[in-house]
Amino acid sequence: MTNRLLLFLTAISVFFLAGCVGNSEAPQNTASKDPNRKIRIGFSMDTLKEHWVKDKELIEKRAAELGAEVTTTVADSNDEKQIQQVENMLTKGIDVLIIAPHNGLVAAAAVDKAKAMGVYVISYDRMIQNDKVDLFVSHLHSTAGIMQAEYALKNKPKGKYVLVFGAPTDNNALIMKEAQLSVLKPAVERGDIEIVADQAAVEWSPEAALKIVENALTKNRNDIAAVVASNDGTAGGAAQALKSQGLTASVVLTGMDAQIDALQRIAQGEQSMTVYKPIHPLAYAAVEAAVKLAKGEKVETTQAMKAVNRDIPFLYIEPRIIEKGNLLEIVRDGYEEYDRIFANVPADQRPARP
């Protein structure tokens, strides 16, 4: 871990401490009162776009393995719908609510409703701004932002940069933005790089990213060294803009999530890297924690993330950089198939199967 990362984590109030989650007074619905009853988990999802299909599959799979029952709802990026879905799950009865919020501020109301009914709440992947959250399970998105910016600087230490941030309603996007800027600031101050465009892509939209990058290319007559796109969806839009101008080989393009289309672009040389956030351990950790909480057991944590006025216990998974040289790591992890990643690469140009 770099010194810059350690300093940044301190700055955004991520604290290293040993601790555990679990109240001495068990919630009303806790399964600890009846060990023979199935634990009921509500999984409130923002969307099924991008990597979220895998999250859903893995959470439901792990719950089944542990004998728990999961009710999953998808809000389609609609705040009101997500709150209503949570209310419905609470009415029907759940022991633990796992919620991946569309908007971390609005979803605070869902936490209040759950806690009022004695239900544990796990904020999944995205932090909800409510001090009553019992546990935050996520990747280190600050690390992801730092990785993207450092990768761009390493490969394009001078020139004009375009920054495509994620959805302004997503707290992770704001964390990544702050992390990226913290890394890039010294290079800007030295005059090594110039940020000629920095804009958020609403709802992480590839179409919004396409327009941001197209406009930047036009205004700068294609003189762009790097596009720091915060995820693979926005990288897809950026890649389209770069490809139309014949710039894929000369411009560094970052991403995140290791989506199949991004992995294919990396294999073809149309995207430089992606930040791989292993979903399997994240989903499993959330379900395992939910089961422990429902049984009145303690969940051990080593970090905390500040919500509003309280440090929320934080279970995290470290992300990794994937680029052309280590694409096979994705295959070895069982995350994606070799034939799918290299589908658009001639057979004689593919690396040997692992």
Question: What is the 3 state secondary structure string of 198-243?
Answer: EEECHHHCHHHHHHHHHHHHHHCCCCCCEEEECCHHHHHHHHHHHH
As annotated, the residues of the chain forming the CATH 3.40.50.2300 domain(s) are 13-133+279-317, 141-276+320-339
Contact by Cβ (8 Å): 303, 142? no
pLDDT at 13 exceeding the cut of 70: no
What are the φ/ψ torsions at residue 214 (nearest 5 degrees)?
-60, -45
pLDDT given for residue 334 in this prediction: 84
Q: What is the mean pLDDT of the chain?
A: 91
pLDDT given for residue 103 in this prediction: 93
pLDDT given for residue 247 in this prediction: 98
pLDDT given for residue 50 in this prediction: 78
CATH number of 13-133+279-317: 3.40.50.2300
pLDDT at 74 exceeding the cut of 70: yes
pLDDT given for residue 19 in this prediction: 58
Over residues 334-346, the mean pLDDT reads 95
pLDDT at 23 exceeding the cut of 80: no
Amino acid letter, residue 12: I
**Which of 30-34, 58-62, 283-287 shows the lowest mean pLDDT across its residues?**
30-34
Over residues 207-217, the mean pLDDT reads 98
Which residues lie below 8 Å from residue 83, measured CB to CB, with a gap of 6+? 106, 107, 109, 110, 113
What's the distance, CA 216 to chain centroid? Answer: 26
pLDDT at 2 exceeding the cut of 80: no
CA distance 180 to 171: 14
**Which of 22-31, 126-135, 250-259 shows the lowest mean pLDDT across its residues?**
22-31
Largest CA distance in the chain: 68
Over residues 208-237, the mean pLDDT reads 98
CA distance 154 to 12: 24
Over residues 231-251, the mean pLDDT reads 98
With cut-offs at 50, 70 and 90, classify the pLDDT of residue 3. Answer: very low
What's the pTM?
0.77
CATH architecture under which domain 141-276+320-339 falls:
3-Layer(aba) Sandwich (3.40)
Buried b (16+ CB within 10 A) or exposed e, 84-98: ebbeebbeeebbbbb
With cut-offs at 50, 70 and 90, classify the pLDDT of residue 8. Answer: very low
CA distance 117 to 111: 10
pLDDT given for residue 12 in this prediction: 42
With cut-offs at 50, 70 and 90, classify the pLDDT of residue 66. Answer: very high
Q: To the nearest whole percent, how much of the chain has pLDDT over 90?
A: 81
Q: What residues pair up with 136 in beta bridges, in sequence order?
A: 123, 314
pLDDT given for residue 126 in this prediction: 92
CA distance 119 to 93: 9
